[in-house]
Every structure is written in structure tokens, then in C-alpha cells.
Amino acid sequence: MNSFGTPITLFKMFGFSVRMNFSWIIIAVLVTWSLATQIFPMSHKGYSQVVYWWMGLAGMLGLFVSVVFHELCHSLVARRFDLQMKGITLFIFGGVAEMTEEPKSPKAEFLMAIAGPASSVALALVFYAVAYGGQSLELPEPVTGTIRYLGFINIVLVVFNLLPGFPLDGGRVLRSILWYWKGNLRWATRIAASFGSGFGTILIVLGIMNVLMGYFVAGMWNFLIGLFLRSAAGISYRQLLMRETLHGEPISRFMNAEPVTVSPETPIAELVEHYIYKYHYKMYPVVQADKTLAGCVTVQRVKEIPKDQWNHSTVRELMQGCSEENTISPDQDAMEALAKMSRTQLSRLMVVRSGRLLGIITLKDMLGFLSMKMEFEQ
């Protein structure tokens, strides 16, 4: 998802931020075009192209509402079990309710997972009831036909999401059952993720077969969804291992207690020549003479200054103040530091207490420790 840029926040509902990745625009255009030029003209003959495009637009918006409703139900149940949710993000393959931690019990996992498909079933029944009620009231066929399509597409969402492959809803249900049976979350995740990877492989093969048979669009969608499912299964399992490995590990284990710092009065030319070219870091803490932390200066900020001004500008003019984004308390654990780095896209955080710099924690050091510990434990 990150390859399509930073998601934009659309609105908030029940305390959850609903965001849209720019890749959702691709699916919105493709769905509207497919409905207006292929699906609705074949199923509802005799209408003008303008009518079909309005039906296509309505169908796409209905799909948007259906996906948001599906993910919102996941999030509401997750909140019921005290799981922290970052929000809901729509992207090219649908939507995802973003959790910052794993469910605390098999029961929480099962109920959270099944809430999405159950909500889609309920939504499908509502759409079908409205469509047939509209026929009784003699509403125009394009209206009832579009609503009936939304009932059908919600059933499709249910069937696909209930495939027993992690991280699909069906895979989470499978994981909750295996977790309850063995009492081992890591083992249950590995098995469920293997199913997800297997289903992804099947979709990739079906996609290739469809392309060879001449069904290019359907084949490409099967192929891309298969790639996504294989990738998501592997990433989800690695994220679990990461959480288990880093949770509870003190920041002091990774922290460099003697970081390279600069003075606010350092000229930019000296910063570049004696710090950036020498150490190759992207961020340097700015420490005053009394050892208090003034902020930090980044390579990106230096790039904004013309080279002919480097001798006449100082770090003080470029430095950024300390904030929740670029600092962390030594009392927090490594997983919280990693989550902050992921959220802010920063690879270095300043460890600060009472306005004083205690050290620097870097993504490189954390991942090195993670790799080594996982290698020994496996």
C-alpha cells in the first residue's frame, strides 16, 4: 500500500479514522467502467449509456459503503475487546482495519474476524429486501437493479473473505480455532498463513490460465489478488514474530548512549563536511552547551538550503524542535519504538528524559537484533 503514497483521511466515524489510499481510485474507476460498459448493459438491456454510467457510479459508491461498513464492524468488535485500532484504510484490493496489536484471546480473534462477514451478510439481505420492495413499489428498473447488484457483491465479499487463508477473515477464524486448540498463537498463525499463501498460489495459477484462455482482465485480477494474498500472509506472520520478539524489550538494549551530536551554532558547511559526509546519518541531535536537547537537524532540511548559503547559515536556523514524532521515552519498549518509526517513516529516534538526550535508537539496530534473535529461537 505504501507504494501508492500516504493515505488521505476522508472522515471519522465512531472514533475511527477512515482513510483512502490513492490506489482506491484505480479500483473505483475500474468498477465504475466495468459496471457501466459491461455488467449492467448485459443484465439490464434497453437503456441509454448515460443511465448505465449513473448505475455504474451508484454501484461503485455502494461498494465503497459496503467495504467501510464491513471494516467498521471489525473495528467495533475489536474495541469491545480493548484492541487499539489505528483506523480503516481503503486500498486497491478492498479495505483493512489496522490493529496495533494481536487479539488477546482466541475468543476475541474469532468474534472480531466473523463480525465482518456477518455484517456483509446482513447488508446483502437489506439490499435484496430493498430491491424487491422497490419492485413492488414499481421503482425504475435501473434503481432496483443497482441495489440488487449491491446485494450480490456483498455475498461475493462474504465468500472471498471466508476463505480459510490468513489474513482473510476466514483465515483469522481458522487461526482462532487452532489457537484455542493448541494454545499457541505463533503456531496457529504459521498454519493459517500457510493456507493464505496456498490460496494465493492457486489464484496466481488460475490467473495465468485465464490470460492464456483469452480472459485477460479476469486473469490479471486473479493474478494480482493472488500475489497480494501470498505477500500479505507472509508479512502478517513476520509481524507477529516481530511483536513477540520485541515486546517488552527495553529501549536501552538497542540505544546508542553516546550519539553524534551537533551544536546549534555549527555552520551548515561544517555540518555537511564533518558530520553528514563522515557519519552518513540522516538525522543529528542538536545539543546546547548545558547538555540540554534543543532539537534535531535532518539531511532533508539541509537539502533545502542553497549550497552558496552553507557558510552563512547555522544549524539553529534549520533545526526542528523535539516532538512526539521524533523522540521516545526510555520507559517505552522496543515494539512501541518500532511502531512509531513505522508511523512517522523515521529510522532514528532520540531517547529523551526531562529535556535531556539519553541516546539514539535506530531501525537498523532493532532489525539486526530481531533477525539474530529469531534465527536462534527458530
CA-based R_g, the chain, Å: 26
Amino acid 93: pLDDT: 56
Q: Residue 319 gets which letter from DSSP?
A: P
Three-state DSSP class for 214?
coil
Amino acid 97: pLDDT: 63
Amino acid 263: pLDDT: 92
Amino acid 2: pLDDT: 42
Cell of 65: 459503503
Q: Where are the domains of the chain?
A: 2-162, 251-377
Residues of the chain with pLDDT under 50: 1-4
Residue 332 makes CB contacts below 8 A (sequence gap 6+) with 251
C-alpha closest to that of 225 among 204, 244, 255 = 204
Amino acid 68: pLDDT: 87
Q: Are 322 and 295 in contact (CB under 8 A)?
A: yes
- Asked about 71 being catalytic, the answer comes back as yes
Amino acid at 72: L
Q: What is the CATH number of domain 251-377?
A: 3.10.580.10
Amino acid 247: pLDDT: 74
Place of cell 455484517: 119
From the candidates 71, 244, 317, 324, give the one annotated as an active-site residue.
Answer: 71
Instruction: Look at the pTM and tell me if it is higher than 0.75.
Output: no
CA 63 to chain centre: 20
> Which pLDDT tens digit goes with each residue over 272-309?
999 999 998 888 999 988 878 998 999 988 998 888 88
